[in-house]
């Protein structure tokens, strides 16, 4: 009997952990995938995980400070993701933390795994409300990893809640966009790293499909 692979959802006090876990458990059961979901703030768990997910809600600086305050977590993540190439998914602010810096309530350094800045949403249509909240169509670029999002099918609607957006330094790291009074980055990708601005755990079938694809993904 093969040993189950471990998907670690990182608990650093800044994410909707239970919703993500429930969505993952649904996918694992529905597709009979040999995975175990753990919630953790322990570096040892990060080191042994086969997949890593970093949720995030709230302000960029608060989330980054919480991550830094979790003893040994950033060092463990850097070893696992950047050195060992463990597949990684950042969700919402967990995606934004991949940037070089965030400009919410001042300037704050991020993980700098994907070069860029997190800047305020500024729609050309000033009648559009901030935050960007609700369903929006995500359009994929032609990319080897685009199957993470839509598995080669038509582009899908996902659920967004955010007031800031990721502005990548290199366009090659933009995997998908949506339109909200202008182009908004919806998915970033680099090597074994994927970040989504929307909430897959709130995005019904499209979100469950994305999580399923992530569990099967090989960079």
Helix H or strand E segment including 190 = strand 183-190
Residue 86's pLDDT is what?
A: 97
Average model confidence (pLDDT) across the chain = 91
Q: Using an 8 Å Cβ cutoff, are 42 and 77 in contact?
A: no
The domain total for the chain is 1
Report residue 112 CA to chain centroid gap. 14
Residue 140's pLDDT is what?
A: 87
Q: At CA 63, angle to CA 60 and CA 67, rounded to 5?
A: 135
Residue in the structure block whose two tokens are 């800044």 = 14
What is the 3-state secondary structure of 69-114?
A: HCCCHHHHHHHHHHHCCCCEEEECHHHHCCCCEECCCCCEECCCCC
User: What would the two tokens of residue 26 be?
Assistant: 């649904």
d(CA 218, CA 131): 34
Residue in the structure block whose two tokens are 């339109």 = 179
Residue in the structure block whose two tokens are 């608060």 = 62
Which domain does 60 fall in, by range?
A: 5-216
- State pLDDT tens for residues 99-156: 999 998 899 999 999 999 999 999 998 899 999 999 999 998 876 555 565 554 557 8
Q: Using an 8 Å Cβ cutoff, are 110 and 95 in contact?
A: no
Mean pLDDT is lowest, of 39-43, 142-146, 167-171, 194-198, for 142-146
Q: What is the CATH number of the domain that holds 48?
A: 3.40.50.880
- State pLDDT tens for residues 74-106: 999 999 999 999 999 999 999 999 999 999 889
Helix pair 204-216, 17-31: axis angle to 10 deg: 70
Q: Closest by alpha carbon to 10, among 64, 52, 48, 71?
A: 52
Measured over the CA atoms of residue 71, residue 11, residue 24 and residue 142, the dihedral's sign is: negative
Cβ burial 154-176 (10 Å sphere, 16+ → b, else e): eebbbbbebebbbebeeeebbbb
Which positions are catalytic? 92, 199, 201
Q: Closest by alpha carbon to 52, among 28, 84, 99?
A: 84
């Amino acid at each position: 009997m093969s040993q189950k692979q471990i998907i670690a959802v990182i608990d650093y006090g800044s994410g909707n952990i239970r919703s993500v876990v429930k969505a993952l458990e649904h996918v694992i059961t529905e597709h009979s995938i040999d995975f175990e979901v753990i919630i953790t703030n322990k570096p040892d768990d990060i080191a042994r995980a086969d997949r890593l997910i970093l949720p995030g809600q709230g302000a960029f600086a608060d989330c980054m400070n919480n991550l830094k305050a979790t003893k040994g977590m950033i060092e463990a993540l850097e070893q696992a993701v950047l050195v060992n190439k463990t597949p990684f998914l950042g969700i919402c602010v967990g995606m934004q933390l991949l940037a070089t810096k965030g400009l919410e309530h001042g300037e704050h350094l991020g993980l700098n795994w994907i070069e860029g800045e997190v800047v305020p949403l500024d729609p050309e249509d000033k009648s559009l409300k901030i935050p960007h909240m609700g369903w929006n169509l995500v359009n994929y670029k032609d990319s080897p990893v685009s199957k993470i999002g839509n598995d080669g099918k038509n582009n899908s609607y996902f659920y967004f809640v955010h007031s800031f957006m990721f502005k990548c330094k290199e366009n090659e790291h933009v995997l998908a966009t949506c339109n909200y009074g202008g182009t908004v980055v919806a998915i970033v990708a680099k090597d074994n790293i994927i970040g989504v601005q929307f909430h897959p755990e709130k995005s019904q079938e499209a979100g469950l499909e994305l999580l399923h694809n992530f569990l099967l993904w090989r960079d």
